[in-house]
Amino acid sequence: MTGKKILLVEDEAAIREMTTMALERAGFGVVAAEDASSAERLLSDGLPDLILLDWMLPGGSGIELARRLRRDEYTREVPIIMLTARSEEEDRIRGFDSGADDYVTKPFSPRELIARVRAVIRRGKAAETADKKQHLKAGDLEIDRYRFEVRMKGQAVELTPKEFELLAALVGTPGRVFGREELLDLVWGRDGFVEPRTVDVHVARLRGKFTAAKLAPPAIETVRGIGYRFREPEREAR
């Protein structure tokens, strides 16, 4: 991990200094910003390998910044770890729904934070080298990795990166049952600290986005006690 660049976005000077020191001791290069506008200026100078993003920032929340970064093609693939004092499940869901790859609750130990940073960066490298089909189609559902687009009956559905990868993993092997731990390995990576229940949350959010768009949800079936599978649409008789 030596030489990997981290963008730290944190408005509290003491936490910013402590976190910068811990990251640099672990061999990371660090650039720091105290608000969203400063972070965006730094991003325009070059992309980091990972962003550590505080939830509460002056002039705009980290959640809002994460959503903007995920919508921007330039920054879409940069991993994000949210830093926050919020620990309720609903807050965690909001963090993941904004596009965060992981979530660290304050106060945190520097050792745990470093472990999570390393894990998320490793997951990103594994995803880059994985052999993935670039275009998937199942009935009226189409997934285009090049364009980062999901369409149902030609209508686009906006998903977070993790929702996108989860859907692609299931659609890529229709009929195959994936356990929750296996989906964590495929989508989040083997080295993460993410709980198996995170898969359930993302599946529910994924289904909900299609329903909100007044579209039929993908044919993802819950296999009780195991995990999920994608049911391939039946072909119409000619």
Q: How far apart are CA 182 and CA 177, in angstroms?
A: 10
123 with 141, same domain: the answer is: no
Q: How many domains does the chain have?
A: 2
pTM across the whole model = 0.56
pLDDT by 10s per residue, the chain, length 238: 567 899 999 999 999 999 999 999 999 999 999 999 999 999 988 899 999 999 888 877 888 898 889 888 888 889 999 888 766 666 667 767 777 888 888 888 888 899 889 888 876 655 554 445 678 999 899 999 878 899 999 999 999 988 999 999 999 888 888 988 888 878 876 445 667 788 999 999 999 999 999 999 999 999 988 899 998 766 443 3
Tell me whether the omega of the peptide bond preceding residue 107 falls within 30 degrees of 0, making it cis: yes
Amino acid at 123: R
- Rg value, the chain, Cα: 18
Please state the φ and ψ torsions of residue 215, each to the nearest 5 degrees. Answer: -120, 155
Classify residue 237: in a domain, yes or no. no
Of the CA atoms within 13 Å of residue 82, those in its CB half-sphere come to 28
Q: How far apart are CA 230 and CA 234, in angstroms?
A: 12
Encoded tokens for 134: 């670039």
Q: In CATH, what number is assigned to the domain containing residue 85?
A: 3.40.50.2300
Classify residue 183: in a domain, yes or no. yes
